[in-house]
Structure 1
Amino acid sequence: MDAQAWDQVVTLHGRVEHELAKALQRRHGIGLSEFRALCRLSRADDGELRMQELADLIGLNQSSVSRLVARLEAANLTRRDLCANDRRGVYTVITEEGRATVEKASPTYYETLSRSLDDASNDPRVSALVAALRGGAPVA
């Protein structure tokens, strides 16, 4: 049972992630990881997070988040800052341009997510999982 449920999660996740990434790239020129990082930063206190904390929140390793933040910095969406209490600590901070990007791209993200889940609810391989995620019956 666990393996079957997990297969449904992997199938649904892959499908939805693909649609989200495609829509964000096509309409806003940003990747899904970039969008998620900007969203986390926009909701963080003072718009900043330690690099490791950001990595944990968006499911990336330290090396991947460093490359991601470098891309965001190059696009002027974030900047780095040193921790005042611990000079070894590095923060990434969202810029006003980064906040504007989140605001512009969020409707695309949420519309695509809803549409992708609507489409998946018609697929018998994952429809029970979609229903459970949306507050319906648990996955069998």
Structure 2
Amino acid sequence: MTADTDLWDQLLTLHAHVESRLAQALQRGHGLGLSEFRALGHLAAAPDSELRMQDLAGRLGLNQSSVTRLVGRLDTAGLAYRDLCPDDKRGVYAVLKDDGRDRLEAARGTYEQVLTAALDEAAEQHPGLRGLLGALRA
């Protein structure tokens, strides 16, 4: 196995561990999936709290169909909505609602706490990740 293969395997192990912990905590504590939390974060950071659906899909690493379903769930939950572009009726935007911003802010502390704990836990459970984590946190 090459050094790059070993590094990549370590990153994948770390990623799987952290994503699992984050997803579980956000769902239990705030009723949000990890992709939903990240979508709300991207919308909150965007000008006017809105993004074209294709831009949101790119930021989340999702295809068009998946982001459409995700925004549909956010819409049903009252956290965001879809809006047509006034200049181009084919363009569709995802727009953050006040309730979505509130839910994001309520969940942000959980996300940050669990992220730190999951990274620390991964370093303890997988000694091979300690060097990688040290380098990433530096």
TM-score class normalised by the smaller sequence: over 0.9
The answer for the alignment partner of 2:9 in structure 1 is 7
Structure 2 gap segments, 5+ residues each: none
Task: Name which of 37, 50, 53 aligns with 1:51.
Answer: 53
Aligned with residue 75 of structure 1, among 74, 77, 81? 77
Task: Give how far 1:125 is off.
Answer: 2.6
Structure 1 stretches lacking a partner, 5+ long: 136-140
The answer to whether 1:42 aligns with 2:22 is no
How far is the alpha carbon of 1:114 from its aligned partner? 0.5
Q: Which residue of 2 aligns with 1:118?
A: 120
Q: What is the number of residues matched between the two proteins? A: 135
Name which of structure 1's ranges 6-15 and 121-130 shifts more when overlaid on structure 2.
121-130
**Cα root mean square deviation, aligned:** 0.8
Is 1:91 paired with 2:93?
yes
| Partner SS state of residue 88, structure 2 | coil
CA distance in 2, matches of 1:89, 1:132: 42
Distance 2:44 2:36 in 1: 12
Q: Deviations over 1:35-56 (max 9, x none)?
A: 0000000010000000010011
Q: Which AA in structure 1 matches 2:128?
A: R
TM-score scaled to structure 2, two decimals?
0.95
TM-score, normalization by structure 1: 0.94
CA distance in 2, matches of 1:87, 1:67: 20
Between the aligned partners of 1:110 and 1:66, the Cα distance in structure 2 is: 27
Residue 132 of structure 2 corresponds to residue 129 of structure 1: yes
Instruction: Give the structure 1 partner of residue 33 of structure 2.
Output: 31
| Residues 36-84 of structure 1: CA deviation (Å, up to 9, x unaligned) | 0000000100000000100111111111111100000000000111112
Could you tell me whether the CA contact under 8 Å between 1:121 and 1:131 is conserved in 2?
no
Q: Which runs of 4+ in 1 moved over 6 A?
A: none
Secondary structure of the corresponding residue to residue 92 of structure 1: strand
Pick the structure with more helix per residue.
2
